[in-house]
Structure 1
Amino acid sequence: MHKILIVEDDPIMGDMLSIYLQEEGYLVQQAHTGLEGLRLLAEYAPDIVLLDLMLPDWDGIRLCTEMRGRSDVPIMVVSMKTEVSERVEALKAGADDYLCKPFSLHELTARVYALIRRAKTLSAERMPFMVEESTAAASLLPAAEVVVDQQKRTVEVRGERVETTYSEFELLRMFISQPGRVFSREDLINAIRGDESFVTDRAIDVHIVNLRKKIERNAKEPKFIRTVWGVGYKYMLPEV
Structure 2
Amino acid sequence: METTTRPTPSDEGTVQVLLVEDDERLARLTSRYLQEHGLVITVAHNGADALFEATRHAFDVILLDLMLPGRDGLEVCRELRTRTDVPIIMLTARGEEADRVLGLESGADDYLPKPYSSRELLARIRAQVRRARGKVGPSSQPVQAGRLVLDPRSLRATLDGKALALTTYEFSLLRVLAERAGRVLSREQLLDLVKGSAEEVFDRSVDVHIFRLRQKLEEDPRNPRLLKTVRGAGYMLATGDES
Same fold (TM over 0.5): yes
Deviations 1:25-54 (A, max 9, x none): 211110011111112112231111100112
Corresponding residue to 1:141 among 143, 146, 154 = 146
Judged with a 3 Å threshold, the aligned counterparts in structure 2 of structure 1 residues 111 and 123 are, in CA distance, closer, same or farther, namely: closer
Residue 2 of structure 1: CA displacement? 0.8
**Aligned residue runs from structure 1 range 144-223, under 5 A:** 146=148, 148-157=150-159, 161-223=163-225
The answer for unaligned runs of 5 or more in structure 1 is 132-136
Partner of 1:23: 36
Partner of 1:134: none
Partner of 1:238: 240
Partner of 2:96: 83
- What's the TM-score, normalizing by structure 2? 0.85
Residue 182 of structure 1: CA displacement? 1.8
Residue 122 of structure 1: CA displacement? 4.2
Quick one: distance in 2 between partners of 1:62 and 1:154?
26
SS in 2 for 1:227: strand
Quick one: distance in 2 between partners of 1:160 and 1:60?
31
Judged with a 3 Å threshold, the aligned counterparts in structure 2 of structure 1 residues 222 and 177 are, in CA distance, closer, same or farther, namely: same
Corresponding residue to 2:125 among 109, 112, 118 = 112
Amino acid at match of 2:27: G
Partner of 1:45: 58
Quick one: distance in 2 between partners of 1:57 and 1:162?
32
Partner of 1:100: 113
- What's the TM-score, normalizing by structure 1? 0.86
The answer for unaligned runs of 5 or more in structure 2 is 1-13
**Contact 1:33 1:55 (8 Å CA) reproduced:** yes
Residue 117 of structure 1: CA displacement? 1.5
Judged with a 3 Å threshold, the aligned counterparts in structure 2 of structure 1 residues 138 and 227 are, in CA distance, closer, same or farther, namely: closer
Q: Percent identity?
A: 39
Corresponding residue to 1:56 among 61, 69, 72 = 69
Judged with a 3 Å threshold, the aligned counterparts in structure 2 of structure 1 residues 96 and 124 are, in CA distance, closer, same or farther, namely: closer
**Contact 1:49 1:73 (8 Å CA) reproduced:** yes
Deviations 1:160-180 (A, max 9, x none): 654221111111122223320
Quick one: distance in 2 between partners of 1:204 and 1:124?
19
Residue 74 of structure 1: CA displacement? 0.8
Amino acid at match of 2:134: T
Judged with a 3 Å threshold, the aligned counterparts in structure 2 of structure 1 residues 124 and 97 are, in CA distance, closer, same or farther, namely: closer
Moved more, 149-158 or 87-96: 149-158
Moved more, 189-198 or 6-15: 189-198
